[in-house]
Chain A
Amino acid sequence: MNAPQRIPIINLYANLIVPIQGAIGDNAMSQLTEDVTQRIENDAALGLVIDVSGVALMDSFITRNIRDLALTARLMGVDTIVSGLQPAVAITLVEMGLEIQGLQTTLNLERALELLAKARELEAAALGGDVHDDA
């Protein structure tokens, strides 16, 4: 597998979903950061979910890359969630002492989308409330 695989980015209700599968090569990873930030801008995305349920191994390199991608997206004003960490991966990360502080995680993709929807409702309600107060 020498050809750099390109990780798909799915747009669903203004949320970008990035399902990462298997081993991620270095090239694929830097390509991904480029692609995702570009799509955030082009699609005017509101949320980003990086789903890692298909990743059986996360070392410090991959973890750092995913964290950086999440932080970059957040800096662009996009709510970002990492979903679906496999149990063995989560246990390994904790044992290694790899902190992924400041990173929102959920059990699975479904919960991530729910959370994003809820955050948007709250935001809308807050905005709506403001309008009423002003009126």
Chain B
Amino acid sequence: MTTLDSTEELVDALKQYFSAPIARALLTSTLRRAKIDGGTLGPQAIPHVITALEQALPMYIADPGRRGECLGRLRKLAHEPAKAPEPVPTGLAARPAPRNGSAGASTVIQVATADDVTNACEVGRDLARKVGFPNVQQTKIATAIAELARNILLYAISGEMRISAIDAPRRGVEVMAADEGPGIKDLTLVMEGPYRSRTGMGLGLRGSKRLMDTFEIESTSKGTTVLARKFVA
């Protein structure tokens, strides 16, 4: 491939504000929404991307000052084109994660302590209630979030969760958990086999999969990303 690719530069700039997986997810979802082909992202496309990101950013960075700073950093890229071709991000983290409607709320939570786990659960339950899930479903979503947050804490030390209200493909809640931990070596064994770790990890991941309607997991030596959704019946 000789195409110049600016994806990595944009991700690098976004990484000042988000963890790497979230930065990628944010970028790719923005590209998808703006109908920009992420596979052949050349320097000439950067201004379009920045315009699209400008619309998406308020959802991710609440503070206007920080948002402006982030945009400034991105705009600088428009004048400094990419130097070398870089591989395009693939896989789950590069998926269009939040396809929010205009009313879609999204909360990003840093997970580094047990209190963060509790906090993430509460955010998830609140959002599930607002979206219209009945009590039992709220509990299932909050529990799935607890399992994912707990896994981050146990195996990756820290990471990030994003909990969003979604309208597409159906109304519901989307949970994304991303960390840069050592990854899960044998994913199939953990997700399907009789595997049961000392701390009950297999149980937690499998449990959260059972509680949600869709569950995708991707794990490399650089980290693990889970994207799970539950829809209002």
Where the two chains meet, the residues of A that have a C-beta atom closer than 8 Å to any C-beta of B are 1-2, 23, 25-27, 56-61, 64, 86-89, 91-92, 95-98
Structural contact, B114 and A57, CB atoms closer than 8 A: no
In angstroms, Cα B200 to Cα A64, docked, is: 8
In angstroms, Cα B140 to Cα A87, docked, is: 12
Please tell me which stretch of B21-29, B70-78, B79-87, B142-150 contacts chain A, meaning at least 4 of its Cβ atoms lie within 8 angstroms of it.
Answer: B142-150
Name the one of B121, B135, B207 contacting A96, with C-beta atoms under 8 angstroms.
B207
Is the C-beta of B100 less than 8 angstroms from some C-beta in chain A? Answer: no
Structural contact, A26 and B207, CB atoms closer than 8 A: no
Structural contact, A58 and B121, CB atoms closer than 8 A: no
Report the nearest B residue to A28, measured CB to CB. Answer: B114
Cβ proximity bits B110-123 to A, threshold 8 Å, 1 near / 0 not:
00001100100100
Ordered by A's residue number, 7 sampled pairs between the chains whose C-beta atoms are within 8 Å are: A60-B150, A86-B139, A88-B140, A92-B211, A96-B208, A96-B211, A97-B203
Name the one of B115, B142, B146 contacting A61, with C-beta atoms under 8 angstroms.
B146
In angstroms, Cα B146 to Cα A118, docked, is: 38
B interface bracket (residues with beta carbon within 8 Å of A): 20 to 34
B101-139 residues at the A interface, CB under 8 angstroms: 114-115, 118, 121, 125, 135-136, 138-139
Structural contact, A57 and B150, CB atoms closer than 8 A: no
In angstroms, Cα B210 to Cα A84, docked, is: 24
Structural contact, A97 and B200, CB atoms closer than 8 A: no
Structural contact, B139 and A56, CB atoms closer than 8 A: yes
Is the C-beta of B206 less than 8 angstroms from some C-beta in chain A? Answer: yes
Structural contact, A60 and B115, CB atoms closer than 8 A: no
Name the one of B136, B138, B199, B204 contacting A59, with C-beta atoms under 8 angstroms.
B204
Chain B residues, Cβ within 8 Å of A23: 118, 121
Structural contact, B118 and A25, CB atoms closer than 8 A: yes
Structural contact, A88 and B150, CB atoms closer than 8 A: no
Report the nearest B residue to A22, measured CB to CB. Answer: B118
In angstroms, Cα B146 to Cα A50, docked, is: 21
Name the one of B125, B139, B146, B207 contacting A98, with C-beta atoms under 8 angstroms.
B207
Which of B114, B206, B211 has the most CB atoms of chain A within a 10 A radius of its CB?
B114
Structural contact, B114 and A59, CB atoms closer than 8 A: no
Chain A residues, Cβ within 8 Å of B203: 60, 96-98
Report the nearest B residue to A23, measured CB to CB. Answer: B118
Structural contact, B136 and A97, CB atoms closer than 8 A: no
Chain B residues, Cβ within 8 Å of A97: 203, 206-207, 210
Chain A residues, Cβ within 8 Å of B115: 1-2, 25
Chain B residues, Cβ within 8 Å of A25: 114-115, 118
| Given A56-B139, A60-B207, 20 additional A-B pairs, CB 8 A | A1-B115, A23-B118, A25-B114, A57-B121, A57-B125, A57-B143, A59-B207, A60-B150, A60-B200, A60-B204, A61-B150, A87-B136, A88-B138, A91-B136, A91-B140, A92-B140, A92-B143, A95-B210, A96-B206, A96-B208
Chain B residues, Cβ within 8 Å of A95: 140, 210-211
Structural contact, A96 and B146, CB atoms closer than 8 A: no
Which of A59, A89, A91, A95 has the most CB atoms of chain B within a 10 A radius of its CB?
A59
Known A23-B121, A98-B207: A57·B139 in contact at CB below 8 Å = yes
